Structure formats: C-alpha cells, structure tokens
Amino acid sequence: MKLALLGFGRFGQLIAKQLIKDFELLIFDSNPILEKKVKEIGAFWGQIENLKDCEVVIIATPISQLPQTIEWMSPHLSKEALVIDVCSVKRWPLDLMKEKLPSSVEILGTHPMFGPDSIHENFKNHKIVLCPEKISKDRLKKVTDYLEGLGLNLLEKTAKEHDEEISRSLILTHFIGRALIHYGAENLDIETKGYQSLLTILEHVGNDSPQLFQDMNRYNPYAKKMRRDFTKALQQTVETLS
C-alpha cells in the first residue's frame, strides 16, 4: 500500500523509519535538500501528482503550516483517502480538515505522545491519542490493529478532551521549560536530585523549535487558561514568603 508522509522534519524522520518497513512510502517536503536523505532510507521523493495513488496521507508539518498544506494537497487526493494528522492540538486541525478537505475522504486525528528525544529503540509501550473524526469502523480497526502491533498504547479521546488535558501536561511542561531557558538554568557543582530532575525538562524542550511552542499555545483553546492559572499559582507561592 502506498502511504504519503507530508513533512520530513524531526518527527517525520522518526516515524518514516518505521513506515518504510511496512508501506511503499512517498515523502513530501518543501525543502529540496532533504531529497537525498529521503532516498537514503529507501523512500520515494513524492511529486504532487503522486498523491492520488496514496490510500493514506499523514500530515507531519508544523501546526501553523496546516492551512497551506491542506490547500496544496486537497485537489490531488484520492476520493477514498484517509488523512491523518499528528498535531499536538486536535480541535483546530480537525475542524480545518473537515472544512477544507473533499467530503469523500476520511479523517483521523492523532497525537503520538513521543518524539525523537523519548524514542530509543522502538515505539513499544509509548502512548498515542486517537481522535476519530470521520472514519469508518473497519478502517479505524485496521489503523488500531497496526498501531497495537507496534506495541503502542492507544488512548481514544474527543478533541476537546485531548486539548484540555494536553494543556495541563505537555504545554505546561513546555511553558516551564521555556521559562527555565530564559532564567538560565544550568548544571551546577552543588545541586540536588530534585534540581537535576528539573533540568531534565530542558533535554526535551530545548530540542523542540520555538515555533512548536508558539503553535501549541496559539492553537490550543485551553492554553491561555493554563498559563493564567499557573502564573496565578506562582504569584500565590511568592506571596506566602512576604
């Protein structure tokens, strides 16, 4: 089966290593320099006319690039295509795809709860969130069977449930991590185990682009409330010292 992967950044390169084992993989990216790297892993450098032959299309571009990506791909999709996104927000991308993609295609929202910094050997025992938006039961089962075969733990959520929970986990972690970067947190000669644990946040957040941080906060409707509540909690903590 032919599968299209749109976006060959850090995360796209991570999942491509697995997808190439199981599918005839076509990779699309706006950066022509990546063509050599695509061919080195055994995938094909896709052209727009190739999309019509792909049963599944995975969008792995930055969140903020989703509108132009959908506009670019929409006229060239197979009528029976399944379009899957891997964005770390869910309601906004799913609404956009429902509005802009052909009515005949199926849509599945996903959020893999792992990345290049947390995957060492394989996907086993890592989590992935599924938000079935417009997909048949039979096709959804094929997807879930494949993902479970990789050893992934599947969580099915609504887009609202996902965005609300992720604002209090992933986005909060990135918020604290970016604050630590601005603060200048670093390894010290005298440091506790707790401080060392705090610095591990930088191992993950520091490798992610500022664009990802901006996009998560911009497109998740619950991010603003999280920032407000956390900032209030910090202020309350400071006030206990006065």
Q: Is 161 helix (H, G, I), strand (E, B) or coil?
A: helix
Residue 119: the pLDDT is 84
The closest alpha carbon to 97, from 64, 54, 66, 135, belongs to: 66
Cα distances from 41 to residues 20, 38, 56, 139, 140, in angstroms, run: 8, 6, 19, 28, 28
- CATH architecture for the domain at 2-158: 3-Layer(aba) Sandwich (3.40)
Q: pLDDT tens track of the chain, all 242 residues?
A: 999 999 999 999 999 999 999 999 999 999 999 999 999 999 999 999 999 999 999 999 999 999 999 999 999 999 999 999 999 999 999 999 999 999 999 999 999 999 888 887 789 999 999 999 999 999 999 999 999 999 999 999 999 999 999 999 999 999 999 999 999 999 999 999 999 999 999 887 877 888 999 999 999 999 999 999 999 999 999 999 98
The helix-helix angle for 159-167 and 170-183 (nearest 10°) equals 30
Residue 222: the pLDDT is 98
DSSP 79: T
Angular region, 53: left φ>0, alpha ψ -120 to 50, beta rest:
alpha
What residues does each domain of the chain span? 2-158, 168-239
pTM above 0.85, yes or no: yes
Structure tokens at 229: 């509540």
Q: Which residues pair with 57 in a beta bridge?
A: 4, 83
Number of H helices, E strands in the chain: 10, 8
Q: Which residues contact 167 (CB under 8 A, 6 or more apart)?
A: 220, 222, 223, 225, 226
Strand order in the sheet with 82-85: 44-45, 24-28, 2-6, 56-59, 82-85, 106-112, 127-134, 153-156
pLDDT, one tens digit per residue, over 101-151 is: 999 999 999 999 998 888 877 899 999 999 999 999 999 999 999 999 999
Residue 209: the pLDDT is 85
